[in-house]
């Protein structure tokens, strides 16, 4: 096995976590602790992400999925195959985001080959895979950022500064449930552009 798994979760979504564990097995959970994130202070999401990152085992990669993720069929098997592509940061969910036209064009081209690689742009943490040898550096970097920064923002800035390329499978291997965001996202629909199902 090349990949360990963890769920980052909010206590209000315990039933969703139980569903994920029923589907994927007894994956460890990093539970959010108060004070919880608000629309004006998303720093608490970093604490939960950080805890999930540190649940990795002694393998090459560590996958962190959020409590409202919907994994594709044969998720663990597909993840094990995916990481054979190389020593990347893997972003398992992609949707169109305003202001990221270059990334959108890359995704459209990727329909033919099944992936695209980026070194900037959006960071969408519904499902991520991290090379475990980089996790300590990411945690130290994330801890040094502004308390208001979300987990996605910290991972994005870290990846850009460290020149860590991000591999994005198309179609996405996770999607969002229809649940409302616990941290306001401006009412945008947060669904995968293409989902492996």
* CATH at residue 89: 3.90.550.10
Q: Is the pLDDT of residue 141 over 90?
A: yes
Kindly state whether residue 196 falls inside one of the protein's structural domains.
no
Residue 26 backbone class (left: φ over 0; alpha: ψ -120 to 50; beta: rest): beta
Residue 187, in any domain of the structure: no
**Has residue 195 been placed in a domain?**
no
Read off the pTM. Answer: 0.92
What is the rounded distance in angstroms from the CA atom of residue 62 to the CA atom of residue 2? 8
Domain-embedded: residue 109: yes
Counting the structural domains of the chain, the total is: 1
CB 168 within 8 A of CB 117: yes
Kindly state whether residue 194 falls inside one of the protein's structural domains. Answer: no
Can you tell me the mean pLDDT for 71-83? 97
- CA–CA separation, 16 vs 112, rounded Å? 33
Cis before 120 (ω within 30): no
Examine residue 185 and state whether it is found in any structural domain, yes or no.
Answer: no
Question: CB 136: neighbour CB atoms within 10 A?
Answer: 11
What is the predicted pLDDT for the residue at 172? 96
Count the residues in the chain: 197
- Whether 188 is in a domain gets the answer no
What is the per-residue pLDDT across 21-61, written as a single tens digit (0 to 9) for each? Answer: 999 999 999 999 998 887 777 889 999 999 999 999 999 99
- What band does 185 get if pLDDT is binned at 50, 70 and 90? very low
- Quote the domain boundaries for residue 166: 3-176
Specify if 132 maps to a domain.
Answer: yes
Percent of the chain residues topping a pLDDT of 70: 91
Bridge partner residues of 174 (DSSP): 71
pLDDT at 180: 56
């Amino acid at each position: 096995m090349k990949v360990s798994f963890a769920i980052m979760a909010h206590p209000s979504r315990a039933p969703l976590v139980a569903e994920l564990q029923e589907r994927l097995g007894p994956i460890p959970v990093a539970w959010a602790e108060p004070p919880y994130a608000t629309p004006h202070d998303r720093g608490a999401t970093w604490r939960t992400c950080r805890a999930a990152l540190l649940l990795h085992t002694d393998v090459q990669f560590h996958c962190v999925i959020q409590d409202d993720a919907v994994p594709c069929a044969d998720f663990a098997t597909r993840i094990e195959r995916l990481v054979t592509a190389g020593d990347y940061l893997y972003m398992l969910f992609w949707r169109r985001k305003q202001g990221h036209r270059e990334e959108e064009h890359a995704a459209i081209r990727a329909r033919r080959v099944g992936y695209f690689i980026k070194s900037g742009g959006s960071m969408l943490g519904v499902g991520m895979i991290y090379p475990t040898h980089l996790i300590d550096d990411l945690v130290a970097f994330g801890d040094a950022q502004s308390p208001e920064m979300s987990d996605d923002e910290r991972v994005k800035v870290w990846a850009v500064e460290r020149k860590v390329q991000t591999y994005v499978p198309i179609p996405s291997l996770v999607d969002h449930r229809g649940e409302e965001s616990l941290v306001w996202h401006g009412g945008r629909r947060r669904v995968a552009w293409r989902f492996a199902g």
